[in-house]
């Protein structure tokens, strides 16, 4: 259920946490320690904090308690939502990217603009690369993305110059949903030259995420943090161009850390931006020169949105597909999280199986 940012008490505490200049992993572990009770996590005293740190083998961050004592949670909430278009997505929300929950330092909340209702997390592809991208790389990337025209794929990138901008632009032109993840507040368009892309995404093509509250400037250390969200919510990462020392290489290493598929788009060996590409390929990264390569590497079954619109599903069937979209689940596992009775679930599963939308493995597990 989406948090009501005006009336829900939890929203105040999530907003307040976003104003704390503390490492994300500390916030994540603290929330987990208090069983995802955001209010308890915020209100913990020094003794509780010491017990938590002792158990997790962590140190209390410098100035953590003094920072927290100076913050007024009501004021934080007011400032965080001065822009009426800004919404809050938390780890408790059903639209929170499921794969992002699997990384160790997932953001406990994300601010966003745009529309998440039509975004599918089933086929998320991160695209990263050089800010000084070559014309050839942009054309090649556009060719790859155009392969997925009108499908349920979601392109995730960082709304930077070069490859990022091309990824979002190609997605928009091909009627593909796209998510931009930025390293500043949602009231700041950075770089300013990407304003049209920014507006197109939030108005018609997807959403823009940030873990930072409004007025947060685009500081250098925010962008490596941003990269973990781009790769963390994606099933695979395509590196289009990258020098050896670059943000794209940081994203590539994160992809491997998260045990996700790493793919590289080869290019001109005389271009210094391909140095990182061929290093990654030598280390075992897959090569992708077209959309079919990506489908093969990720073992995807892409669905055309045009075809999907012809398939009329009732609420129960949609809920079932959402539950088993990431991994196969048994009848009992589905039943434990879906809010319908047993007979209705049996009917929904049978109809979905007859229509070829799900399969049953070993007579027990259902998968898309």
pLDDT score for 2 = 42
Query: Which of 9-23, 269-283, 291-305 is least confident?
Result: 291-305
| Tens-digit pLDDT profile for residues 140-154 | 999 999 999 999 999
Q: What is the CATH number of domain 124-298?
A: 3.40.50.450
Q: What is the mean pLDDT of residues 131-142?
A: 93
Sorted by sequence, the CB contacts under 8 Å of residue 224 that are 6+ apart come out as: 247, 250
Sorted by sequence, the CB contacts under 8 Å of residue 132 that are 6+ apart come out as: 161, 162, 273
Q: Please spell the DSSP secondary structure of 231-261, one letter per residue.
A: HHT-SEEEE----SSSHHHHHHHHHHHTT-E
Helices and strands per DSSP (H, E), number in the chain = 17, 12
CB atoms within 10 A of CB 326: 15
DSSP designation for 285: P
pLDDT score for 5 = 43
Nearest to 163 by CA among 319, 273, 268: 273
| Tens-digit pLDDT profile for residues 240-262 | 999 999 999 999 999 999 999 99
Q: What is the mean pLDDT of residues 358-363?
A: 71
pLDDT score for 307 = 43
Q: Which helix (H) or strand (E) holds 54?
A: helix 46-56
Nearest to 304 by CA among 175, 150, 154: 150
Tokens (6 digits) for 110: 């994300």
Residue 143's Cβ-count burial label (10 Å; 0-12, 13-18, 19+) is middle
How many Å apart are CA 87 and CA 220, to the nearest integer?
A: 25
CATH topology of domain 311-367: Arc Repressor Mutant, subunit A (1.10.10)
In which band, very low, low, confident or very high, does the pLDDT at 7 lie, cut at 50, 70 and 90? very low
Domain extents in the chain: 1-82, 124-298, 311-367
Average pLDDT, the chain: 89
Tokens (6 digits) for 93: 């929300």
In which band, very low, low, confident or very high, does the pLDDT at 124 lie, cut at 50, 70 and 90? very high
End-to-end CA distance of the chain: 24
pLDDT score for 3 = 47
Tokens (6 digits) for 218: 């685009």
| Tens-digit pLDDT profile for residues 175-226 | 999 999 999 999 999 999 999 999 999 999 999 999 999 999 999 899 999 9
C-beta separation of 10 from 3 below 8 A: yes
Sorted by sequence, the CB contacts under 8 Å of residue 308 that are 6+ apart come out as: 152
C-beta separation of 265 from 288 below 8 A: yes
pLDDT score for 308 = 43
pLDDT score for 309 = 42
CB atoms within 10 A of CB 342: 9
């Amino acid at each position: 259920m989406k948090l009501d940012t005006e009336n829900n008490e939890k929203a105040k505490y999530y907003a307040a946490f976003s104003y704390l200049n503390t490492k994300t992993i500390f916030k994540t572990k603290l929330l987990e320690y208090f069983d995802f009770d955001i209010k308890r996590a915020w209100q913990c005293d020094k003794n509780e904090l010491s017990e938590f740190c002792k158990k997790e083998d962590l140190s209390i961050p410098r100035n953590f308690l003094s920072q927290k004592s100076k913050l007024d949670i009501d004021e934080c909430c007011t400032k965080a939502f001065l822009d009426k278009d800004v919404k809050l997505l938390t780890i408790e929300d059903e639209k929170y990217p499921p794969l992002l929950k699997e990384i160790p330092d997932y953001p406990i909340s994300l601010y966003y603009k745009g529309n998440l209702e039509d975004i599918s997390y089933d086929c998320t592809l991160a695209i990263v690369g050089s800010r000084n991208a070559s014309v050839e790389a942009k054309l090649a990337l556009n060719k790859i993305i155009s392969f997925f025209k009108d499908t349920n794929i979601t392109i995730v990138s960082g709304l930077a110059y070069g490859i990022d901008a091309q990824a979002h632009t190609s997605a928009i032109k091909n009627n593909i949903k796209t998510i931009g993840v930025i390293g500043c507040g949602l009231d700041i368009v950075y770089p300013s030259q990407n304003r049209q892309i920014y507006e197109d995404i939030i108005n018609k093509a997807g959403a823009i995420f940030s873990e930072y509250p409004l007025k947060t400037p685009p500081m250098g250390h925010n962008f490596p943090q941003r990269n973990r969200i781009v790769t963390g919510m994606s099933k695979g990462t395509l590196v289009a161009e990258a020098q050896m020392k670059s943000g794209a290489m940081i994203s590539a290493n994160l992809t491997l850390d998260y045990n996700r598929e790493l793919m590289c788009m080869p290019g001109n060996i005389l271009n210094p931006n391909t140095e990182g590409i061929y290093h990654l390929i030598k280390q075992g990264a897959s090569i992708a020169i077209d959309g079919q390569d990506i489908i093969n590497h990720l073992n995807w079954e892409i669905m055309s949105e045009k075809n999907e619109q012809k398939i009329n599903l009732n609420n129960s069937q949609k809920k079932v597909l959402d539950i088993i979209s990431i991994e196969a689940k048994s009848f009992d596992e589905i039943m434990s999280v879906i809010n319908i009775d047993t007979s209705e679930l049996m009917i929904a599963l049978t109809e979905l199986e007859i229509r070829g939308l799900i399969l049953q493995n070993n007579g027990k597990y259902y998968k898309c």
